[in-house]
Amino acid sequence: MGTMHRSGAPRRTNENAKLIITTIVGVVFGFFVGITLPLGSFRKISLPSGLMSSLDVAMSDGKLFSGGRSPEDIGSRKSPKIYVPTNPHGAELLPPGIIVAETDFYLRRLWGEPSEDLKKKPKYLVTFTVGFEQRNNINAAVKKFSEDFQILLFHYDGRTTEWDQFEWSKNAIHISAKKQTKWWYAKRFLHPDVVSAYEYIFIWDEDLGVEHFNADRYVELVKKHGLEISQPGLEPNNGLTWEMTKRRGDRDVHKETKEKPGWCSDPHLPPCAAFVEIMAPVFSREAWRCVWHMIQNDLVHGWGLDFALRRCVEPAHEKIGVVDSQWIIHQVIPSLGSQGESEEGKSPWQGVRERCRNEWTMFQNRVAEADKAYMEQHKVKE
């Protein structure tokens, strides 16, 4: 008896027919759905925000560029040939109307109209170079400054987020670089074009007692007496080095003093006049524009700078002074000295102090050499 075989051909034919019919039905259904729904419905499909580029966001609103212009309209428009030699260096090819040469530390929102970002613009800038160990002292100091003052903290210990335990810290600017001084920070982050929005710039240490200080009153006195460079008077019994910076109890401001015999060859020159120390100086924006250029990149402690500040204002003995009625206490906490390293058997603070003295000598030599080079070039006789 022979074996009978069943053929699979009819079954495969039926399956292929079903597949073809299903495809046709799907195409027809998709066509009718496509012509029924408006185009805008597809543009409103929601995607995860992390997957959407700025172009996707613009397309989801039904417009790519403002005014209904296309990329071709923007990109292919011919720009006029421009060269303006009076523009800031590097921006000569731009029309002056688009140039923004200065900036600020104003905090802005990520939404809304830019013109509505700021309820109030701070008039003055206050900087402290800080370590977290001095947080309570800085907290007390910051409370002496009103909303007219923008607070900027330079962190030499790398600890920034811990400061948010203070409410004011959330609106402050925080810049961190380990084991750096305030003059290192100032040279790199306080360029005159960055701080030009502020009438006065406070560049203060972290170890200042401010019980007898009021910032708003201080600014009033600085303006009244025409001081371009100033500092609060120092409590006579705490960390006092110079007679000029000693607080006087019988006046609001003083601009000159008497020093030890032989210290002042001219009563209008430092340290008898035209002089403030570098622990708590306050600069007008015009004076700071000059002082910033005098700060050396590699001389980070600022020693010797106090004797040279007079070069940035004229007449210096009238525009540099000490505000006596708003005074501070120098607590003399050598916190930055602990950031040094032991070398050749010396403790960290000894190495830091030695560099301070060396930088003072180096700065004096550079100033003298620069003066000499200028006079030789211009044939100026002393």
Tell me the C-alpha distance between 98 and 48, whole Å: 35
Domain boundaries, the chain: 116-334
Neighbours of 227 (CB within 10 A): 25
- CB neighbour list of residue 277: distance below 8 Å, 6 or more residues apart: 231, 234, 241, 242, 245, 306
> Two tokens at 354?
């030695």
Q: pTM, whole model, 2 decimals?
A: 0.80
pLDDT at residue 22 in the model:
64
Looking at this protein, which amino acid is placed at residue 320? I
Cα separation values, 238 from 57, 129, 247, 328, Å? 61, 20, 11, 10
Nearest to 317 by CA among 227, 222, 214: 227
- CB neighbour list of residue 149: distance below 8 Å, 6 or more residues apart: 122, 123, 124, 125, 126, 202, 215
- Per run of 10 residues, the mean pLDDT along the chain (length 382 residues) is 44 57 62 51 43 48 56 68 96 96 95 94 97 96 97 96 96 96 97 98 96 97 98 82 92 94 91 96 98 98 96 98 96 71 73 92 98 88 52
pLDDT at residue 241 in the model:
76
pLDDT at residue 343 in the model:
72
> Two tokens at 158?
């790398």
3-class SS of residue 91: coil
pLDDT at residue 90 in the model:
96
pLDDT at residue 237 in the model:
73
**Residue 233 CB-density burial (10 A; 0-12 exposed, 13-18 middle, 19+ buried):** buried
- CB neighbour list of residue 2: distance below 8 Å, 6 or more residues apart: none
Report yes or no: 276 and 242 within 8 Å, Cβ to Cβ. no
Nearest to 184 by CA among 290, 297, 287: 297
pLDDT at residue 3 in the model:
42
- CATH homologous superfamily of 116-334 equals Spore Coat Polysaccharide Biosynthesis Protein SpsA; Chain A (3.90.550.10)
